Amino acid sequence: MSAARLDGAPVAAAIRATVREHVARLSELEVTAGVAVVLATDNESTAWYVRAIEREAGLLGIDCMVHDLGQATTGRIAQRIEELNRNPLVHGIILQTPLPDGVEAADLVGLISPAKDIDGANPLSLGRLSVGLPAFAPATARSVMEILEHYRVPLTGQHVTVVGRSAVVGKPLAQLLLGKDATVTTCHSRSANLASYTRRSAVTIVAVGRAGLLTGRHVTPESVVIDVGTTVDGQGNLIGDVDAASVGSTARALTPVPGGVGSVTTALLMLHTSEAALSGSCVSPAGAREGELMAGQW
Ligand code: NAP
């Protein structure tokens, strides 16, 4: 392996330090930041992720309220989201998928107040990002940006290829990258000759969910590769979209899986929650980061 390893741990640590500053400022205002997680599934990997959010919140002094609605209907989940929108103790709302059969996330995410939409699920948030207005980006997309910034990967004027065009990762990432003056190509399942794009890119970000999609032939010794994908193999191991052996021996830098993008996401959800709490308390967070919401901006 010759590629430099872009670990998520130091990035998450830096984000946690900012969250602790926010929490201290909130405490002076006698405010405790609160995040609500709404779930309606007994899916084991969702349960694992929700426990990770609870742990992260506990570590940082943020209240985490889990609303487990069981096999709820669209109406019941919608009602809970509306209640949480009105609850002043809740600054961030996460609607966890998967949802019960017959319940479409698309019918619900638009109900989350944009000011509390800390995982950028409401289409309004993506729309605002697209036109350069403040909005919370989906945590995974922003995690990628935080990793690139932490490791000082140049983006201005650079060609970046994003593989994957979902509303939660690929599309918001493309917008965030455009906001950093990168020249962005988005590839997807119908894109012909993926390597012709990735080999011409300074940075390649893969968010597909297909193990081993990106191999050594897709990269050059100058490539920086960010692996967002997560798949569980037959032995229960978490693996990414990148063939770590061939890409690792060719590329300049690569994020590991696990230990890369995924290890930053929960810290970022807490950063968004503390930012939302500060905005709601009419205080602009110190060292405001791009995309951050300020009081009265909605
Ligand atoms: P998704 O909604 O299934 O989207 C996958 C995207 O990949 C689609 O745009 C699809 O193209 C594209 N694609 C499929 N096959 C392809 C191929 N052969 N070549 C190029 N593109 C291809 O998935 P997602 O929600 O964006 O998640 C993507 C991956 O990231 C998954 O592995 C997921 O588990 C992981 N993830 C990780 C984190 C984390 O914190 N680390 C968070 C969220 C997601 P079409 O649009 O043409 O179908």
pLDDT tens profile 163-203: 999 999 999 999 999 999 999 999 999 999 999 999 999 99
Please say if the pLDDT value at position 119 is more than 50. Answer: yes
Please say if the pLDDT value at position 286 is more than 90. Answer: no
Please say if the pLDDT value at position 289 is more than 50. Answer: no
Closest-CA residue to 66 (of 75, 57, 74): 57
The residue that leads in pLDDT, 15 or 294, is: 15
Q: What is the CATH number of domain 19-117+262-278?
A: 3.40.50.10860
**Residue from 173, 188, 197, 206 to probe ligand 1 pocket by mutation (most atoms less than 8 Å from CB):** 188
Please report the pLDDT score of residue 157 as a whole number: 98
Measured CA angle at 254 (ends 210, 16), to 5 deg: 100
- Angstrom CA distances, 183 to 74, 103, 156, 244, 276, stand at 40, 37, 8, 26, 30
- 139-261 and 19-117+262-278 share a CATH fold: yes
Residue nearest atom 34 in ligand 1 by C-alpha distance:
230
Average pLDDT, the chain: 93
| Token pair recorded at residue 53 | 């959010």
Query: 139-261 has which fold?
Result: Rossmann fold (3.40.50)
Is the CB of residue 170 below 6 angstroms from any atom belonging to ligand 1?
yes
| Token pair recorded at residue 24 | 């201290």
Q: 288 falls in which pLDDT band (50, 70, 90)? A: very low
Please report the pLDDT score of residue 282 as a whole number: 53
Q: 17 falls in which pLDDT band (50, 70, 90)? A: very high
- pTM equals 0.94
Between CA 55 and CA 51 the distance in angstroms is: 6
> Are the beta carbons of 31 and 277 closer than 8 angstroms?
yes
**296 secondary structure, DSSP code:** T
Task: Indicate the pairing of strand 203-206 with strand 159-163.
Answer: parallel
Ligand 1 mean position, distance from CA 58 (Å)? 30
Q: 226 falls in which pLDDT band (50, 70, 90)? A: very high
Between CA 33 and CA 31 the distance in angstroms is: 6
Please report the pLDDT score of residue 22 as a whole number: 98
Q: What percent of the chain has pLDDT over 70?
A: 94
Q: 246 falls in which pLDDT band (50, 70, 90)? A: very high
Q: Domain coordinates of the chain in residue numbers?
A: 19-117+262-278, 139-261
Q: What percent of the chain has pLDDT over 90?
A: 89
Alpha helices in the chain (DSSP H): 9-28, 44-60, 74-86, 123-130, 139-150, 170-179, 194-198, 244-248, 262-280
- pLDDT tens by residue, 23-70: 999 999 999 999 999 999 888 888 999 999 999 999 999 999 999 999
Please report the pLDDT score of residue 182 as a whole number: 98
Is the CB of residue 158 below 6 angstroms from any atom belonging to ligand 1?
no
Please say if the pLDDT value at position 280 is more than 60. Answer: yes
* Helix orientation angle between 170-179 and 139-150, rounded to the nearest 10 degrees: 40
Ligand 1 mean position, distance from CA 127 (Å)? 20
Please say if the pLDDT value at position 285 is more than 60. Answer: no
Overall average pLDDT of the 1-17 stretch? 96
Q: Which residue has the tokens 């969702």?
A: 46
Ligand 1 mean position, distance from CA 146 (Å)? 20
Spatial neighbors of 204 by CB under 8 A, at least 6 apart, are 160, 161, 163, 198, 214, 218, 219, 223, 224, 225, 226
